[in-house]
């Protein structure tokens, strides 16, 4: 018989909201801002060029490659320096991006499920990205929030799951982690001793080389059934 469930951790991007449209809009807003405030950067760097630059920055700073905030901000600083624009402007540019990055639309069922879930158990956010539950407007549902930048490691690294375990003050096997990424969320959490739920909204095929999650769901409503059974 398995130990009673004590906490739930949730991935954010593509688990609570659809992320690609958010990033696309944030990139578009940033591009427009650069055209108005740093035209040299805008002329030199397209969205694709910035993507390549971020890859170069990540390779140059392997100890910070998990930190998307650093990678994006440093890429903007590099672009400013290279084009002769005042580097301090990079901070303002990144804030423009970050504001849009945190302007999301939750999946339809998410608000009601989060409201019910946090009444049952402590709920924690666990993300590799730079969305913030408080800036997004859902922080009141969460007992805590951890991200790769703050922890110093990204999923599937065991370090971020170990930080969650400490933060929740619970045994790994009493925490249920929910996420859409088979490797980062499911494999990472399983190897750290957590129970796992794969969020599969698009009816994707499970990677044959990985051990399956304990549970698979297509929306958050199904998560409540699992939690009720385990808690």
pLDDT at 2: 63
Average pLDDT over residues 115-127: 97
- How far apart are the C-alpha atoms of 167 and 198, rounded to whole Å? 22
pLDDT at 3: 79
pLDDT at 228: 93
pLDDT at 225: 95
Evaluate if residue 126 carries a pLDDT over 90.
Answer: yes
pLDDT at 188: 98
Domains and CATH numbers, the chain: 7-17+105-230 (3.40.50.1000), 20-101 (1.20.120.1600)
Evaluate if residue 1 carries a pLDDT over 60.
Answer: no
Evaluate if residue 99 carries a pLDDT over 70.
Answer: yes
Contact 231, 4 (CB under 8 A): yes
Q: Tens of pLDDT along 26-85?
A: 999 999 999 999 999 999 999 999 999 999 999 999 999 999 999 999 999 999 999 999
Phi, then psi, of 43 in degrees rounded to 5: -70, -35
Average pLDDT over residues 93-121: 97
pTM as predicted: 0.93
Q: Tens of pLDDT along 149-182?
A: 999 999 999 999 999 999 999 999 999 999 999 9
Mean pLDDT, all residues of the chain:
95
Work out the number of other CB atoms within 10 angstroms of the CB of residue 115.
12
Average pLDDT over residues 197-224: 96
């Amino acid at each position: 018989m398995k130990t009673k469930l004590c906490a739930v951790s949730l991935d954010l991007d593509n688990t609570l909201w659809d992320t690609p449209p958010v990033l696309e809009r944030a990139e578009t807003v940033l591009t427009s801002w650069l055209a108005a405030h740093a035209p040299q950067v805008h002329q030199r760097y397209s969205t694709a060029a910035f993507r390549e630059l971020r890859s170069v920055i990540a390779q140059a700073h392997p100890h910070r490659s998990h930190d998307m905030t650093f990678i994006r901000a440093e890429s903007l600083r590099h672009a400013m320096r290279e084009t002769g624009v005042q580097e301090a402007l990079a901070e303002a540019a990144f804030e423009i991006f970050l504001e849009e990055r945190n302007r999301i639309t939750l999946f339809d069922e998410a608000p009601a499920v989060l409201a019910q879930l946090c009444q049952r158990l402590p709920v924690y956010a666990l993300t590799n990205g730079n969305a913030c539950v408080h800036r997004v407007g859902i922080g009141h549902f969460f007992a805590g929030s951890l991200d790769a930048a703050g922890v110093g490691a990204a999923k599937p690294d065991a370090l971020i799951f170990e930080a969650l375990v400490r933060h929740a003050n619970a045994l790994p096997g009493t925490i249920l982690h929910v996420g859409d990424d088979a490797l980062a969320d499911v494999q990472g959490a399983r190897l750290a001793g957590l129970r796992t739920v794969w969020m599969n909204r698009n009816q994707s095929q499970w990677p044959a080389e990985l051990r399956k999650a304990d549970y698979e769901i297509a929306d958050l409503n199904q998560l409540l059934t699992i939690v009720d059974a385990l808690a």
